[in-house]
Amino acid sequence: MGRVGILGGTFDPPHIAHLVMAREAVEKIPLERILFMPAPNPPHKIPEELTPYSLRLKMVELALSGDAGLELSRMEEFRNGPSYTVDLLKHYHQLHDDDVFFIIGADTLSDLPNWKDPGGILELTTLVVFPRTGYPSILPVAGGASVVLFEGPVIDISSTEIREKMAAGERMKRFLPEPVYEFILDNSLYKC
């Protein structure tokens, strides 16, 4: 039985804050590895506004290249219908006998009560919560839930902000791994 972190998300695009959170979790919890799991069909996103899943997978692959302990998981690749976290965690536990740590930002934690079966999520994993400016670091959670709160530097950037600023002509290179930035330019993503 291992200690594995899961960082789920749309990753449209993956940016340095994703990598910093993952590296911090590997080092400080500690975890054996972090699985980045891009969601093919996130229920809170408009499908037509998403970069195609294959391109998001490639960007995550590029972001993680050469980073020991950080891995791309394709477990969600062939899922039909919405990509719900509770379903992902149940499926993972059917395949593996690991202690799972689900990594989120405080912004996501504040929205957790609106997710599908938040109680099930709390039963299946330990939440690892990273700070975000303007969001509380801790919220009341159900009895018995395990939550790890991180203190430390806040990297205030989001994929949405990167897409919007790049579409407006701003260079967001400092917030993206170099190969991801080049891939975005080479493929004219985000109206670049």
In the chain, what are the domain boundaries? 3-156
Specify whether the CB–CB gap between 85 and 37 falls below 8 A.
Answer: no
The token duo for 143 is: 């009895």
Residues paired with residue 99 on neighbouring β-strands, in sequence order: 3
Mean pLDDT in the chain?
91
CA dist 140 and 123 (Å) reads 15
Task: List pLDDT tens digits, range 29-44.
Answer: 999 999 999 999 999 8
Q: Domain 3-156 sits in which CATH superfamily?
A: HUPs (3.40.50.620)
Task: List pLDDT tens digits, range 127-165.
Answer: 999 988 887 766 666 556 778 888 767 778 999 999 999
Tell me what pLDDT residue 140 has.
Answer: 61
Q: How many CB atoms lie within 10 A of CB 87?
A: 16
pLDDT classification of 192: cutoffs 50, 70, 90: low
Specify whether the CB–CB gap between 137 and 128 falls below 8 A.
Answer: no
Residue range 152-180: average pLDDT?
92
CA dist 54 and 32 (Å) reads 27
Tokens 């009560």: give the residue: 113
The token duo for 70 is: 């950080």
Coil/strand/helix, residue 58: helix
For the CA atoms of the chain, what is the radius of gyration? 16
Tell me what pLDDT residue 28 has.
Answer: 93
DSSP class of 51: P
Tokens 């919007």: give the residue: 164
